[in-house]
Structure 1
């Protein structure tokens, strides 16, 4: 161990395993770990994610305490807090892992410029993704706009193994230093709705690893076959842990490779598709960030420029009914209730609810992305924006706009026994499955027997599916016609 003292600047990498900045700092000197909540960061984090961040910071504080290292938590500008910390501790360097959204990247550049000019050692590491943005390109050296060729290319590339912590890790935090308090960051929302999350989630690195090991041992073999059925719960639920960097994607990747090696050839053939399906989802997260870095305007604008001319409706009543799970379409309302209750929503249902907002209600995808940002514990900027642009048809590798999910048949197909809807919309649970996804089609006597009074105990549908579908397609055609006229004028 040298006499160097290194500041490790934590952000969305709240773990010790395979944390390259932390590992290298621990090898190079004594550790001063700090988390800084800047004004820009505070604005970009939704209420549910702030709840998660609070407890994730508490967890990593406990992890560091095992090495007798306190975590410093401060509120303020990155530059000022780090500058003060260097001055007060005589730290010789700042190590951190890169982030890829525009706000964090801008903050990184300011920090690097300031401290390099002051002759402070700055080291940046890649720890959040499998592949560094810009490292996966086609034969022309251009970034991929379509996922499938991106996926095929990365399957040929090397994924670095997770790093291991050195045996000796020493604190560089001065005694009696004012390390700050997590509660003083003001992350816990004043609205009590997040108190429900304790029932469903336990943030933190060790819980992420436990969750991953359980999924790898018990559920991953049925992932591809059953992941689209929300009642079966055959998904990993790792998304919030990945969003806050509590588990390494490289760890997941190599655990899967080891699992394949442990199987004989017949078993490998049987499970290969299941494991590949999960890896595709992990790589999709990389793809979203590669697109975010290459096309940063995706955060606010459609990637397909013609969608700038789409005639979105400004209907606050419909937007509120969607948020409050009062659309009258049970599969949509079930998803929105799951979101409000748990801070999470099954991915298949995310697509259904997003499609309904964008295409049945013609409300801009940015409204939905904003609501998800505030209510999802697993909010991930690149994934969230790319997901919404995918549904809207405005992304480069998107579902065509004219692909409009029918919320009735989607329910029939992916919740065939109605278990998911009955859990989240109990007021219609007594309806026969035949009518469960379209209660308004049930005969009067069936509704009465089930104790359902449309418009009273459960809403009437706020729009007609067929009419809404036709309206959405007409608006889409109008947009295409207008764009063609612009090109020809």
Structure 2
């Protein structure tokens, strides 16, 4: 009887799982394995919010396998050493995994594949967490795209509704003694903010499918408009589920088109194309990271190597704490701290404030998001911060500085979002809450700080710094 190991990383699901499906189809026995090896993660080790999510996602995967009579074997230590040991113990001749696309992960997987094959083991890697792998979409000159719109045009032509793979079922699951209890991996934080994460999210494959259903039922039809309103649940909130591979773009695409078919809507139904385009940005982020692997720590536009960033730890701390005195910025940072997530429009505003009004290096923001977001993803995080800072591929021009007051007045006109996260200001009228510094006495009695910078003056200073590198 042939036996296979299936290594899980960020593909924590049973449905639409090509590596697992292939193993179950080709072998009589299958052992699902997760190896916790923090030493593999160097400069971008998962942050606290990601570790919290990972614990609960693994717990959900265990539950799914338990329901089939299977076992998720959890181990700690070096991944290659663990796979060798388990293959020997259970007599496995083949190891399966889903491909990863970050530069360090690609290098690790290449080394493991070569070493295992040199020892006579077969290794099969499969795609599964993107529509198209980063090297599969190229310009007519066979070069990578640097601008989103032509990239999306090319990718969109390739996307047809495709039925996801059903949940994998092995003919027999292998069970071995010695699996490490999840609690011993030390993923759960001890800080009290984890309570807010648990209130806001349901990690795991069942939670992902439930969230997709909610989005399709409640928010898809008005997505083109509702996605910009932070007080509403107008976005899919699927980003952490996608990052951990609890759901795939193919499953989402299929669900959207099935809904369109049942309602008689066509391909251009409101919300459908705008949301697919947002998923396209996720694909573009991975495309850029694969082809330009230096970008997590260096600007795509190398002129920004000479930009006059300011180093001000005290200012950075106020931004992190949501104590800048600018309501929309503070509301977003408090939402992040409480829930591990922030509305996308607000993300752009807080990033613009940090990199332009405060002129702090975008990496400071990227690292804070990396630690506090449940959907922290190296490709998306890099693209988002460099886009807002003006130094990325197809980035917003540096002179585009989001005005937090104008953004709040436009997208949160009744200040519903601001009042939710700034309870000390909740009794103020909306017009004043958008710019409370116009009534200093109101701030003094409520304990809310005055703005740490003047928005207009700091904007002009940022533009002056930009001019210093713009002509070179």
Note if contact 1:243-1:378 (Cα within 8 Å) is conserved in structure 2.
Answer: yes
Note if contact 2:221-2:271 (Cα within 8 Å) is conserved in structure 1.
Answer: yes
Give distance in 2, aligned partners of 1:27 and 1:117.
25
Q: Which residue of 2 aligns with 1:31?
A: 30
Note if contact 2:34-2:75 (Cα within 8 Å) is conserved in structure 1.
Answer: yes
Post-superposition CA distance 1:152-199 (Å, at most 9, x none): 11111145542224555421234xx21111111110113232122111
2:150 matches 1:149 = yes
Matches within 5 A, 1:116-265: 116-159=117-160, 160-165=162-167, 168-174=170-176, 177-264=177-264
2:448 matches 1:458 = yes
- Deviation at 1:55? 0.6
Note if contact 1:17-1:248 (Cα within 8 Å) is conserved in structure 2.
Answer: no
SS at match of 2:282: helix
Post-superposition CA distance 1:449-475 (Å, at most 9, x none): xxx417x60001000111100000000
Post-superposition CA distance 1:91-119 (Å, at most 9, x none): 11110000111222121011101011111
Q: Tell which deviates more after alignment, 425-434 or 314-323.
A: 425-434
- Deviation at 1:45? 0.3
- C-alpha distance 430-443 of structure 1, shift in aligned 2 (>3 A): same
Q: Which residue of 1 aligns with 2:466?
A: 476
Post-superposition CA distance 1:213-260 (Å, at most 9, x none): 121122100111111010122111111111101011111112222233
Give distance in 2, aligned partners of 1:322 and 1:463.
12
5+ residue gaps, structure 1? 485-489
Post-superposition CA distance 1:255-301 (Å, at most 9, x none): 2222333343xx437x6241001101111111100111011111111
SS at match of 1:122: strand
**Which residue of 327, 341, 351 corresponds with 2:324?**
327
Give distance in 2, aligned partners of 1:228 and 1:158.
26
Note if contact 1:6-1:172 (Cα within 8 Å) is conserved in structure 2.
Answer: no
SS at match of 1:155: helix
- C-alpha distance 432-167 of structure 1, shift in aligned 2 (>3 A): closer
Matches within 5 A, 1:66-105: 66-105=67-106
Give distance in 1, aligned partners of 2:85 and 2:170.
27
- Deviation at 1:443? 6.8
Q: Which residue of 2 aligns with 1:22?
A: 20
Give distance in 2, aligned partners of 1:309 and 1:342.
36
SS at match of 1:68: coil
Note if contact 2:30-2:170 (Cα within 8 Å) is conserved in structure 1.
Answer: no
Give distance in 1, aligned partners of 2:78 and 2:9.
13
- Deviation at 1:41? 3.3
Q: Which residue of 2 aligns with 1:5?
A: 3
Q: Which residue of 1 aligns with 2:111?
A: 110
Give distance in 2, aligned partners of 1:165 and 1:331.
43
Note if contact 2:137-2:144 (Cα within 8 Å) is conserved in structure 1.
Answer: yes
Note if contact 1:97-1:125 (Cα within 8 Å) is conserved in structure 2.
Answer: yes
SS at match of 1:272: coil
SS at match of 1:95: strand
**TM-score, length-normalised on structure 1?**
0.93
Post-superposition CA distance 1:4-60 (Å, at most 9, x none): 111100000000000111111111111111111222238610000100000100110
SS at match of 1:124: strand
Give distance in 1, aligned partners of 2:125 and 2:74.
20
Note if contact 2:208-2:247 (Cα within 8 Å) is conserved in structure 1.
Answer: yes
Note if contact 2:222-2:234 (Cα within 8 Å) is conserved in structure 1.
Answer: yes
SS at match of 1:299: coil
Note if contact 1:13-1:244 (Cα within 8 Å) is conserved in structure 2.
Answer: yes
2:64 matches 1:48 = no
